[in-house]
A = this chain, B = another copy of it.
Amino acid sequence: MAEFVKEYAALTPEERAREYDAAREEWERFKASGLKLNMARGKPGKEQLDVVSGIFFRMLEHDEYLSDGEDVRNYGELAGLPSARRLFADILDCKPEQVFVGGNASLQLMYDTISKGFTHGLLHSSGPWFKEGMIRWLCPVPGYDRHFRITEDFGFEMIPVPMTPNGPNMDFVESAVKDPSVKGMWCVPKYSNPQGVIYSEETIHRLASMKTAAPDFLLMWDNAYVVHEFEGEYQPFPDMLSVCAEHGNPHRVIEFASTSKITLPGAGVSCFACSVENMTYLKRLLSVQAISFDKVNQQRHVLYLRSKQRTLDLMKEHAAILRPKFRCVEETLENKIGKLNIAKWNHPKGGYFISLDAMPGTARRALHLCHQAGVTMTAAGATYPYGLDPLDSNIRIAPSYPPIGELRKAAEILCVCLRLAALEKLEG
């Protein structure tokens, strides 16, 4: 079938009707085929899991039970194995004493940080946040739904911050932090979720240096995709701990990372990194809830990943699997709706998502049509606080999980649904 090439906005009513019938027929055909496809979450595919099977073959020798002379199989070392702290410091370009290595999920560490602020306060808080009345939080949009759910869960008022190609709109941010009730901000600084934006040098320095009214203002620096290029070479990225320190605000940032998309999703190792003073403060709070995290799994990771360089080598294997999947989705979008002027999307070189902006007022409808045709997508609005996308436009596409055949089919269905939703909208 020849692809339709005329901008939808320029169609005559008759052309629109014909196009609608054609798209509807296509959609009905997909629907009738009873598919069950999923592009909802940034979940690695099976090929990626198989790439790291070697990790299961660590810890088979008794000498692997020891790390720096300590038996990793017993209690102790709340902040993690020293060797694991060194590994993450290598990857994050910070110092081992700034790193706390935790359990299987950085999400848990992030939740815990916010929770600690709420119940106990942070290093420079005057007290627990629950005593301070309304807490406000900056949320770059579109952003990561699980971040927003955490701050929503604690009743914070979330303030959407528009994203630009260089990161969050810094004029907006600098103005917002003059309010002392604005206590922090979510950031995914490298390959932002979902747009794949890399924060610029200027953005980073303005975040590190800006004057905040709250003495305990916190950058939740989720460096989830720190080594997650799937296109081109590894892009070094400034160590935000150093940048903040350089500007006299060393305690402003807590950085998070994990191996969920390096080794195994949900069975990897997570960490946070922060100033040594923050570390002392947080360790004291964390010592109430934990004796130690899973150091056996930390040791497995130290033995398997070994260094940043070896980790980057492994990431190239992931990239070889992910790259064709992203290309497949982008090509499908380009071929099927590239000329219609009903959607724009980004072309990320790392991370796990493609962010698509549909014609305003059509995202929800398009995803409903997808759902009916058997394609599960991240819910419309999910990339905004409270699930409310004011333009009803942003759609997050997660190409990593499905095999490429299914992925192409899912992308095709998405295109048909975007066409139908746009035509309905134009019809008014």
Which residues of A line the B interface, CB within 8 A? 41, 43-44, 46, 49, 53, 56-57, 59-60, 62, 65, 71-76, 103-105, 107-108, 111-112, 115, 118-120, 128, 130, 146, 149-150, 153-154, 260, 264-267, 285, 288-297
Known contacts A73-B265, A115-B115, A295-B267; is-contact A107 B289 (Cβ 8 Å): yes
A382 to chain B, nearest CB (A): 14
Q: Give chain B residues whose Cβ lies under 8 Å from the Cβ of A103.
A: 103-104, 293-294
B49 near A56 with CB under 8 A, answer no
Instruction: Give Cα A292–Cα B105 distance, bound, in whole angstroms.
Output: 8
B297 near A267 with CB under 8 A, answer yes
Instruction: Give Cα A149–Cα B76 distance, bound, in whole angstroms.
Output: 17
Known contacts A267-B297, A297-B294; is-contact A289 B119 (Cβ 8 Å): no
B74 near A107 with CB under 8 A, answer no
A83 to chain B, nearest CB (A): 15
The number of times this chain is found in the oligomer is 2
Instruction: Give Cα A261–Cα B415 distance, bound, in whole angstroms.
Output: 54
Q: Give chain B residues whose Cβ lies under 8 Å from the Cβ of A292.
A: 105, 266
A375 to chain B, nearest CB (A): 19
A282 to chain B, nearest CB (A): 13
Known contacts A104-B103, A115-B115; is-contact A43 B294 (Cβ 8 Å): no
Q: Give chain B residues whose Cβ lies under 8 Å from the Cβ of A49.
A: 65, 71, 73-74
- Among A41, A105, A267, the most chain B Cβ lie within 10 Å of the Cβ of A267
A156 to chain B, nearest CB (A): 12
Q: Give chain B residues whose Cβ lies under 8 Å from the Cβ of A53.
A: 62
Instruction: Give Cα A374–Cα B265 distance, bound, in whole angstroms.
Output: 45
**Besides the known contacts A57-B60, A73-B266, A104-B293, 11 further A-B residue pairs in the complex with CB atoms under 8 A apart:** A73-B265, A74-B264, A103-B104, A115-B115, A120-B153, A146-B291, A149-B288, A153-B285, A266-B294, A267-B296, A294-B294
Select one of B46, B107, B118, B294 contacting A290, CB under 8 A. B107
Known contacts A119-B154, A267-B296; is-contact A291 B105 (Cβ 8 Å): yes
A336 to chain B, nearest CB (A): 29
Closest 8 CB pairs of A and B: A111-B289, A267-B296, A104-B294, A266-B292, A56-B59, A153-B288, A49-B73, A75-B265
